[in-house]
Amino acid sequence: MAETKLSAEKRTEFGKGAARRIRRENKIPAVVYGHGEAPLHVTLPGHDTMIALRHANALFDIELEGERHLTLPKDVQRDPIKGFIEHVDLLVVRRGEKVTVDVPLALTGEAEANTIVNQELTTLSVEAEATHLPENIEVSVDGLAAGAQVSAGDVTLPAGATLAGDPEQLVVVVQAAATAAQVEAELETLEAEAGIVREESHSDDQGGESSEAAGSTES
């Protein structure tokens, strides 16, 4: 993934009030740490940072007072209601070193007809070079039949990446789709548990009465 260059400013004010003032200026409070270096409290440009964070495992090349810091976002705090970015933790990385990250999974292809594909994992933990982190990993379900399973160890990883998690962990499970009869039976069971009683149809009785009435008219 390409590096995103950002110009940062040192942050000298702290606390909720200071953070609100920073965000009003369309900036984001952040901290840069790692490799035994003293944490650096900085502010980042709001718009550019937000755009870069749309990509998983974005790599930030931070310029701060003439020095450059290659970093990887480790924690992004967002407002739970409005969703705006409140704070970002940035981990210092070195070119060539390997880091462990969670990479989003993207399913491709279509399983056999009348099946349901259940995705058990949305990310996969892998180890890769800090400057060559995959943005996503594709998992093909094309042609899979009911009963098929894909585990973490079955997933083809990008070049240079190795699996960091449990290879036996299930990623995808393919199940047979329920038939109309099975859906109806399950619905009846749920209705019975809820105490719902279906009204019986009287269409046959009404049809009989209509026929009799018609016969009387003809005679």
pLDDT digits 0-9 by tens, 159-181: 999 999 999 999 999 999 877 77
For domain 3-93, the CATH class is: mainly beta
| pLDDT at position 11 | 86
Burial of 64 from C-beta contacts in 10 A (0-12 / 13-18 / 19+)? middle
Which stretch of 12-26, 66-80, 201-215 has the lowest confidence by average pLDDT? 201-215
For the chain, the domains span: 3-93, 100-176, 180-218
Q: Label the pairing between strands 59-64 and 67-78.
A: antiparallel
Bridge partner list, 37: 34
To the nearest whole percent, how much of the chain has pLDDT over 90? 58
| Domain 100-176: CATH architecture, name and number where available | Beta Complex (2.170)
pLDDT-derived band of residue 191, with 50, 70 and 90 as boundaries?
Answer: confident
What distances in angstroms separate CA 61 from CA 52, 53, 160, one per listed residue?
Answer: 11, 13, 22
Grouping H, G, I as helix, E, B as strand and the rest as coil, residue 170 is: strand
